[in-house]
Amino acid sequence: MTQDRDRTGGSPSIDRRRFLRAGLAAGGAAIAGGSVAGASESNPDNLPPNVADWSRYLGDGVDARPYGAPSEFESETVRRSVAWLTASTESSVNFTPLHALDGIITPNGLCFERHHGGIAEIDPADHRLMINGLVDRPLIFTMDDIRRFPRENRIYFLECAANSGMEWRGAQLNGCQFTHGMVHCVMYTGVPLRHILNEAGLKPNGKWLLAEGADASAMTRSIPLEKALDDCLVAFAMNGEALRPEQGYPLRLVVPGWEGNMWIKWLRRIEVGDQPWHQREETSKYTDLLPGGKARRFTWEMDVKSVITNPSPQAPINHGKGFTVLTGLAWSGRGTIERVDVTLDGGRNWHPARIDGPSLNKAVHRFYYEFEWDGSPLLLQSRAVDSQGHIQPTKDQLRAVRGTNSIYHNNGIQTWHVQSGGEVENVEVS
């Protein structure tokens, strides 16, 4: 929104306030009474408001940190794990602190982790990618070889199929970091997988791939060839720099919009076959047990989903009544997000949220809803609609079809209860 100088510079204060209100209303909200609570009038002379210590003394120079780190005051903004959730830390998960972030990019240091055999610490000079099976010419590539193929750059979300999995059986975890923190979104740089497969030469009966990791679990998943030839990447960089060790350094398969366990980390081998392999991680895990005892398998695509990240249990309202910024994330494995609606009263009234920032295919979208809080309790929910028209369901709608045996693919609407003091808790409404 570009504001014309003439419309704001030449009118008295009260008119400008009106303009401000009109301008903000276009974006979906207004600042109450034209004033932000907490802002106060001050000395009108030109003295700085505070001349703090950091203004009095020289700080560190440019050689202090060749590779930077966050401020010490941000030490609580970290990935967190839940000790009781898994038997060991090597086959476990930690969570992105969504409540402390904004925008659509996740910094590399805060991308959630899910390991099946711990973090493989790989020397890239000794790493190889093998292509075998139903190909004309089995090949082995070094990292330098991979860098000689044409590259693409894409911002994609990556969500674990088990994200929000505890919510199948009721509101259990008190914080969006824990209920929804198995999602992150970064820019990947890599080689389209089709270039590498075509280099090996696909045999006519090749219909499936097996992707295999070099970690201690030799994580494996079957992937249909159509997807591989469409938009999969063999990625070596995230957010500009080399992949992080916990994200598959030096090489990871990127499977846009599909569940995270298929994005094989520490990628060492791709076999071409004529049918799926039915490996452990696609039979005993990453299938969805339905009420009748039948299991859904190959539920690859991540469904349309959203969550309010602020306010949320880890990020209560501390400022009391008045103008309040609500924000959250929405995403879909089937495209972009078309709209997000927000309710403050558990679904009685819905209001369109403002999506801000780039709207990119299979990336998270950032939404905002600014409102005047009167201090009464709230039941906050968000509901996303994707570019294919899919609408995020309620948890009860999901359970009616899928029961409560599932762990995976819970994209139900999340409810936060805001108390009059500003505290927030994870609840369910029917």
Query: Which residues inside 41-70 make contact with a copy of itself, applying CB under 8 A?
Result: 41-46, 48-50, 52, 54-70
In the complex, minimum distance from the CB of residue 23 to a copy of itself, in angstroms, rounded to a whole number: 8
Site for a copy of itself in 365-424 (CB under 8 A): 366, 368, 370
CB nearer to a copy of itself: give 167 or 215: 215
CA diameter of the chain: 80
Its sign, for the CA torsion 420, 422, 425, 428, is: positive
In the complex, minimum distance from the CB of residue 215 to a copy of itself, in angstroms, rounded to a whole number: 7
Residue 200 CB neighbour total at 10 angstroms: 21
Contact 203, 134 (CB under 8 A): yes
Which residue is listed with tokens 């299979």? 362
User: Which of the stretches 95-103, 167-175, 256-264, 407-415 binds a copy of itself when contact is defined by CB under 8 A?
Assistant: 95-103
CA 139 to chain centre: 34
CB nearer to a copy of itself: give 116 or 395: 116
Q: Please choose, from the candidates 282, 279, 236, the residue with its C-alpha nearest in 3D space to the C-alpha of residue 259.
A: 282
In the complex, minimum distance from the CB of residue 309 to a copy of itself, in angstroms, rounded to a whole number: 11
Site for a copy of itself in 263-282 (CB under 8 A): 266, 268-269, 271
Residue 229 CB neighbour total at 10 angstroms: 15
In the complex, minimum distance from the CB of residue 428 to a copy of itself, in angstroms, rounded to a whole number: 28
In the complex, minimum distance from the CB of residue 136 to a copy of itself, in angstroms, rounded to a whole number: 4
Q: Please choose, from the candidates 395, 288, 277, 400, the residue with its C-alpha nearest in 3D space to the C-alpha of residue 346.
A: 395
Residue 415's H or E segment, with its range, is strand 415-418
Size of the site for a copy of itself (CB under 8 A): 171
Site for a copy of itself in 100-159 (CB under 8 A): 100-111, 113-115, 117-128, 130, 132-133, 136-142, 144-145, 147-155
Residue 359 CB neighbour total at 10 angstroms: 15
Contact 305, 299 (CB under 8 A): no
Site for a copy of itself in 2-21 (CB under 8 A): 2-3, 5, 8-13, 16-17, 19-20
In the complex, minimum distance from the CB of residue 169 to a copy of itself, in angstroms, rounded to a whole number: 23
Contact 412, 384 (CB under 8 A): no
CA 270 to chain centre: 27
Partners of 328 in the β-ladder:
308, 367
Distance CA 341, CA 352 (A): 4
Which residue is listed with tokens 């990020």? 315
CB nearer to a copy of itself: give 246 or 282: 246
Site for a copy of itself in 302-361 (CB under 8 A): 318-319, 322-325, 327, 354, 356-358, 360
Distance CA 367, CA 15 (A): 29
CB nearer to a copy of itself: give 291 or 421: 421
Which residue is listed with tokens 């609408």? 391
CB nearer to a copy of itself: give 82 or 400: 82
In the complex, minimum distance from the CB of residue 42 to a copy of itself, in angstroms, rounded to a whole number: 5
CB nearer to a copy of itself: give 125 or 401: 125
Site for a copy of itself in 184-243 (CB under 8 A): 186-189, 192, 194-195, 198-199, 201-202, 204, 206-207, 212, 214-216, 218, 225-226, 229-231, 236-237, 239-242
Nearest 5°: phi and psi at 158? -130, 120
In the complex, minimum distance from the CB of residue 219 to a copy of itself, in angstroms, rounded to a whole number: 11
Distance CA 129, CA 269 (A): 5
CB nearer to a copy of itself: give 5 or 348: 5
Distance CA 335, CA 391 (A): 13
In the complex, minimum distance from the CB of residue 396 to a copy of itself, in angstroms, rounded to a whole number: 32
In the complex, minimum distance from the CB of residue 159 to a copy of itself, in angstroms, rounded to a whole number: 16
In the complex, minimum distance from the CB of residue 39 to a copy of itself, in angstroms, rounded to a whole number: 5
Side chain identity, residue 183: V
Contact 292, 225 (CB under 8 A): no
Which residue is listed with tokens 């009464």? 376
CB nearer to a copy of itself: give 159 or 231: 231
Site for a copy of itself in 150-179 (CB under 8 A): 150-155
Applying CB under 8 A, does 87 fall inside the site for a copy of itself? no
